[in-house]
Structure 1
Amino acid sequence: MNDLSDIRRGAFAPGNSTDVAEALLMETGLRVDETRRRGRGAGINASGRFEALSRESEDDGWNVLEELAPFKTEVQIEKPRTIISRNESPDIPFDRSVNPYRGCEHGCIYCFARPTHAYMGLSPGLDFEARLFAKPDAPRLLERELAKPGYKVRPIALGTNTDPYQPIEREWRIMRQILEVLKAADHPVMIVTKSALVTRDIDLLAPMAEKGLVKVGLSVTTLDRKLARLLEPRAATPALRLEAIRDLSSAGIPTSVLVAPIIPALNDHEIERILESAKTAGASEASYVLLRLPLEVSPLFRDWLLRHYPDRYRHVMSLVRSMRGGKDYDADFTKRMKGAGPYAWQIGRRFDMAAKRLELNLTRRALNCDLFVPPLGMGVQLSLL
């Protein structure tokens, strides 16, 4: 389908067609050929916002673009000095997190973490899902930071920025080593993922769950396998995520479902079905997040929407903006997760009613912070006393 031709022949209704045309004219010049990005979420790879120069590919008639190699996953080693990230955001239920990887091969088009790749001089588009960074020193750094005098125990969140169980974890196994450090120290941990690979670590998670040290949340965006493939091209299928919930809960590990993101006029009709399926699989808690489009995520998502659902572009973006004060995104702490306005209120009420009917969230399990024992592993500096 040629989107520009659709505009010229009036496939988009008058009134808002200017908005669509402007988006297309701005972004089609940056769009990467489909054969080079097969199996990826983003369609463009614009330069990061901190770069002095902006580059875009242009076919000069010599077929140079057709000869460029497809995007392949590349992993570089990152050597941070510390591994625990802190935050004071009032709308987030944790104050510290650990990220074993930077970038995410899952390629979720809506991922709010995409803009962080600009700090590496890379694009939040295709670079974010193809040019990844692994932190093999993370377990050693974690041991060292947990052993510091005066360290105060609070649950550590894993999977807050990029998925710790993304495909490259099968080879690098950094997430598993982090769990081994936390298990040895009896440190509480919260995990969020959309990968069935989490079940690999049940042998670590189950003993931690017996001590009240762990909770696992599975993100389920849709039950429609086709839509999931387009939104999250390299993530586990919806069926595998529900199976992971079943396996984890059967092993005695407290499990929740995160309906995220809710995209108006695209997957919001599935809220109740997702909650019902997760409850049947064994989830005991549930939460949701409205679609967030900060910084570079907005043009990436709009380009994706125009490629896959051009007939819904106007309607989806109109509803998104109605919940974000007329903008693509509102970063206000009181609104960024749930939105505002009548449509956002309706989504919230539907979610609350379905969760209540299914007896989800009857209790919110608090993790045990009283068992922590500072580690004495290889990463810990010994006292001189």
Structure 2
Amino acid sequence: MSKLFENYARWDIEIISGNGTKVYDSEEKEYLDFTSGIGVCNVGHCNPSVVAATETQLKQLWHTSNLFTHSLQEKVAEKLVQSSMGAAVFFCNSGAEANEAAIKLARKYTGKSKIITFNKSFHGRTFGTMAATGQDKIKAGFGPMLESFIHLPFNDLQALEKELDHETAAVMLEVIQGEGGVNPANEDFLQGIEKLCKEKGALLIIDEVQTGIGRTGKAFGYQHYNISPDIITSAKGLGNGFPTAAMIGTEKVKSAFNPGSHGSTFGGNPLAMSAANATLDIIMNADFLAEVEEKGNYLSEKLDDMFAKVPEFKGTRHKGLMIGCEFSKEVSDIVTQLRQNGLLVITAGPNVIRLLPPLTVTYEEINEALEILANTLIEQKQLV
């Protein structure tokens, strides 16, 4: 009997090794991994450059603390700032921690407490980020939530106009809701939010935990929409599997985090920074990002063509290699069968198949995944 808490509905597979897009289980079965550890291993499993950088650091120093100067933190922060609207970076360990930092910074900078988020959003599982999340299932059983979080319909600018006032500290959202179903925001909606925030003195926070670090074909997802937020958060893909995260803020909010206002024991540790530095060297490149966008368009078009023959198919939504395929029925049986046939994918809600392959996936691997998917649908008598 397991001595672990049973808060994960684990698959009956143990992955023990990986290389690029391929992973292998304890029975030596090979899988195409179109989950990337839920959008984490953006440059592939055991990427040689990331491995080499982390191994070198492993032999030098693992940890000191943030009492000391960290030149590698400065180097990674510079790359993040150069690739975004930011001027300053705070390093931590997870997306939830980055979002907590963003919430604290917004409240401290503005002196206000009200924060507006959206239905179907997901921002984390700490009490602050759980309160920010617009999904009741995440909050069930934990008692009263923290106050001052307001949840509104996504892509409804009218509802926001009625709620956003001079008492609002920030509006916080994902430009594409990942856990909520791969739901993209409308450009008019996002630009409207930015305008209202400026009018009312509120900050605009973009949660880039899943959409950032090249996943959508841009350095960060907000860059598709001609907006400039005050704060963005990043995690998942930043360390390519080594736990690390960042909150990035503009020059105007920088002074609100003075010494002692916020901190993290392990945030920005040398091992995490070595992994992040090597990862960013690969991803923050115009040619690499353009190729991510091209691969995403190719995969999405092929999926649309295939699923058009499936009566329950409702459509594909994507930016870069963040793809959701929606059906009018639950898709857990398809996901299970795909796993048995050697293709790992996940869901985003009960009726959306979510594909998050490594950004380094090859066209050959994309075609191989499409073949497995077609054969699986034929097996289930959904495709003829």
- Higher Cα radius of gyration: 1
Q: TM-score, structure 1 length as denominator?
A: 0.25
Q: Of Structure 1 and Structure 2, which has the larger fraction of its residues in strand?
A: 2
